[in-house]
Amino acid sequence: MTESLDEIGPIDYLVLEFPGNQFRGDVFPRLLDLVDGGLIRIIDLLFVRKEADGEVTMLTISDLDGDGELDLAVFEGASTGLIGEDDLDDVGGVIEPGSSAAVLIYENLWAVPFAAAVRASGGQLVSNGRIPLHEFLESLDETEADA
């Protein structure tokens, strides 16, 4: 990643849990759509499993859904080394025993022109966050009930 600061969008991460190690590969074609559409760039993609005893281990890219096809070969090598051992411990703290997770770090390419304009005008991002979907829906329901 040798771009100048003006050419880099916001960087986010996701931890996607698959309880009971029940993984279906239909999520990854949607991820590829985001990449192919120029909306995101994958910086790191890592898979982990939390054993029943709480031990967290990294998984290799493989046939996760057992259909005989290498589902994630296109993601092989999507690693900058940004995810460290302490991050694995953090992931282990948020997923349930007997589950697997995908850890994804990605750049929001759709936001590059906006981020560049903010920087060019002397602005800077000082805070960001996400509103969980259930909280958003609850808020809408409360607003509707009050109307």
Token couple for 48: 């982990």
In eight-state DSSP terms, residue 69 is S
Q: What is the pLDDT of residues 88-124, one digit of tens each?
A: 889 999 999 999 898 999 999 999 999 999 989 999 8
Give me the number of domains the chain comprises: 1
Give the domain range for residue 42.
5-146
- pTM for this structure? 0.77
pLDDT value, residue 111:
92
pLDDT at 63 over 50: no
Cα–Cα distance, 55 to 140 (Å, whole number): 40
pLDDT value, residue 67:
54
pLDDT value, residue 76:
56
